[in-house]
Structure 1
Amino acid sequence: MRAFVTGGTGFLGANLIEQLLADGWQVIAMHRHGSDTKRLQQQGVELVEASLADVDSLRNAMPENLDAVFHLAANTNLWRGGNAQQWRDNVEGSANIARVAREKNAGRLIATSSIAVYGYQSGRIDERSPKLADDPRHGYLYTKKRAEEAVRAEIERGLDAVFLNPCAIVGKYDTTSWAQTFFLMEKDQLPGVPPGKGSFCYAGSVARAHIDAFYKGRCGENYILAGRDASFLEFFGRIAALLGKPAPKRAMPAFVIHTLGWLSDLWSIASGREPLITPEKAAMVTRRVVASSDKAVRELGYQTDTDLDTMLRECYDWLVEQKLLKASA
């Protein structure tokens, strides 16, 4: 079996490629110029350099008649200063990879979308919930929904594709997501705990769901990948325990975080630099975004039995192993 993977140098991509190789797949990983491909080289993965923005480079990089294309690459920017590039990466890039996958007769495209396409809702989200990500001021949500629409346009032209919508992913190989919370808390630099709540999913299970979606998913369907629900106060408290730090006692009020976001946004207009907190980040961490994985469990065999402590311990142990964190006493 042959797989073409975008985003293979990233957090989820590393977990997916590890499992594909263990299953005996031949993996071709597409990467951008300048990406760190050391791990992939050590694994014996075939590397091809291309740009999602350049259809011809994708055509040159992608072989004919692949079994699967796993499109994981995404721009997760949460600052309006990066919105134009985010549109090119997420929307135009998804349109291009889907087009080339169809032209090259790939067996199936597995598109990594996000729970973000459903926007902010008061209740528990499932696949029947409306997709409310229609405010262009929230670039990540807005572009992820339109990335799905771009792939659906190719489904209408004959592409076989499935969509996976992970929630907040936790696990090893993370240096840019929740790992940043570990780094801030280790240095006692965390400005505060947001009052939101989320569904946290295990990276290993999310990666396995991608492979299972190739075999079992239904064309055109969304599959939400959730896991364990927790408030950020609880989540950050568990990180503090791993680091040997005092657990935070209370969450900051939402209005304080929103105010900081807007003030920082004004500063960024003058400086041209991305601030630590933005209105987009403030919106994301002050909401309750919880979801159901029942459909993925039923149709894909998605596993949700990994508890939050196990997810965070794996993330922590890997960061210590990589000497990115000091082991707590």
Structure 2
Amino acid sequence: MVRVLLTGAGGFLGGHVLRQLVDQGVAVVALCRDDASEARLRDLGADTARGDLADGASLAAALGANTDSIFHMAADTSSWKLANAAQTRTNVAGTANLVAAARDAGVRRFVHTSSVAAFGRVEHSALFEALPRLGIESWINYERTKAAAELIVRDAGRSGWFETAILNPSHILGPGDRRGWARLFLMIDSGKLPGAPPGAGAFADVREVARAHVAAWRHPGNGESWLLGGAQATFLDLIGRIAAELGRPAPKRAMPLGLLKAYAKLSELASYVTRRAPALTPEAVALTSHNLRVDCRKAEAQLDYRMPPLEILIRDTIDGLRNEGLLQAR
């Protein structure tokens, strides 16, 4: 039986990839850091290994001598400046540590979850795979670290250490989310959403993104990358549809960008006193104020990637949150 190591298995997307691999008869070893996550991952059918991306020895032990492939899905998605140092350690140094451990263990293939954030914010074109990863020059640490991590993986593949496959998902919706875009649903449900940002995004189905990861693992070749976009919508439209499904009021128009920036700056300043992550940051405003478009034709052709309608993604996300008792709306 083929053995793979999965980082980030306790996360939203990682959990879906874990389930799909287990369902296909793959022996999955999930990297975990505590008893609670270990028990949960074992319940999903994975073996577990204690380890940390900051600890090269623990990664070597988790890989052992017979790991065929790695799915590296762990990442810090924070947009808060006070968390930048920790984010860089996880996204950049952690990836470098895992790449080195994979090289030393003789791993055959390294599947890396990057992000559309690695491209930076491209305003006048849909993203496609051949574009440069301008996130490396961004003032937003998340964009910068995702681009840097992707470069580390690419360089390893070019050096012949192992085969690489890189996936760049956009905004991911679907059942099982608690900390990603689910926060938007919860803010709408509780009436705490300050307003709709003026940008637009591409919204992907977590199950399709997970399926694309498994397909990319099985795809022949080295050094390929695939963009995984989805249903295009403005944030105003998205919020309106979520609110309608929840029976909550929705904003009639997007919040002026200047007002949104001021609100975020005040929230950020307050966070320096409270030492708690703000509800909105200048980085988050920038990420949701531009018009993201994603060309997914390569993934559609090579990975059989599919993009369900937005209403299905919204409904399934709400059903997932409701099943976990996280929504007030019935």
Q: Normalising by structure 2, report the TM-score.
A: 0.94
Structure 1 regions of 5+ residues with no counterpart? Answer: none
Alpha-carbon deviation of 1:142? 0.3
Q: Distance in 2 between matches of 1:258 and 1:131?
A: 25
Q: Distance in 2 between matches of 1:262 and 1:163?
A: 34
2:267 equivalent in structure 1: 264
1:46 equivalent in structure 2: 47
Q: Distance in 1 between matches of 2:103 and 2:36?
A: 26
1:11/1:175 contact within 8 Å kept? yes
Q: Distance in 2 between matches of 1:44 and 1:225?
A: 27
- Within a 5 Å distance, the mapping from 1:1-329 to structure 2 comes to 1-33=2-34, 36-122=37-123, 123-135=125-137, 137-155=139-157, 156-216=159-219, 218-304=221-307, 306-326=308-328, 328=330
Q: Distance in 2 between matches of 1:83 and 1:34?
A: 27
Q: Distance in 1 between matches of 2:118 and 2:305?
A: 20
1:17 counterpart SS class: helix
Q: Distance in 1 between matches of 2:323 and 2:267?
A: 35
Q: Which moved more, 1:271-280 or 1:44-53?
A: 271-280
2:22/2:45 contact within 8 Å kept? no
1:262-309 CA distance string (max 9 Å, x none):
2333333344332211111111111111111111111222122x1111
Q: Distance in 2 between matches of 1:74 and 1:193?
A: 26
1:111/1:162 contact within 8 Å kept? yes
Q: Distance in 1 between matches of 2:271 and 2:220?
A: 43
Q: Distance in 1 between matches of 2:105 and 2:329?
A: 48
Q: Which moved more, 1:131-140 or 1:113-122?
A: 131-140
Alpha-carbon deviation of 1:179? 1.2
Output the aligned Cα RMSD: 1.6
Q: Distance in 1 between matches of 2:138 and 2:116?
A: 17
2:226 counterpart SS class: strand
2:135 counterpart SS class: coil
Letter of the aligned partner of 2:79 in structure 1? L
How many aligned residue pairs are there? 327
2:247/2:329 contact within 8 Å kept? no
1:9/1:35 contact within 8 Å kept? no
Letter of the aligned partner of 2:164 in structure 1? A
Q: Distance in 1 between matches of 2:97 and 2:302?
A: 28
1:65/1:107 contact within 8 Å kept? no
Alpha-carbon deviation of 1:217? 5.2
1:48-105 CA distance string (max 9 Å, x none):
1100011111001112232321000000010110111111100011111112122212
Q: Distance in 2 between matches of 1:289 and 1:190?
A: 21
1:36 counterpart SS class: helix
Q: Normalising by structure 1, report the TM-score.
A: 0.95
1:217/1:300 contact within 8 Å kept? no
Structure 2 regions of 5+ residues with no counterpart? Answer: none
2:4/2:70 contact within 8 Å kept? yes
Provide closer, same or farther for how the CA distance between residues 269 and 150 of structure 1 changes in structure 2, counting only shifts above 3 A: same
Q: Distance in 1 between matches of 2:129 and 2:36?
A: 34
Q: Which moved more, 1:127-136 or 1:87-96?
A: 127-136
1:162/1:217 contact within 8 Å kept? no
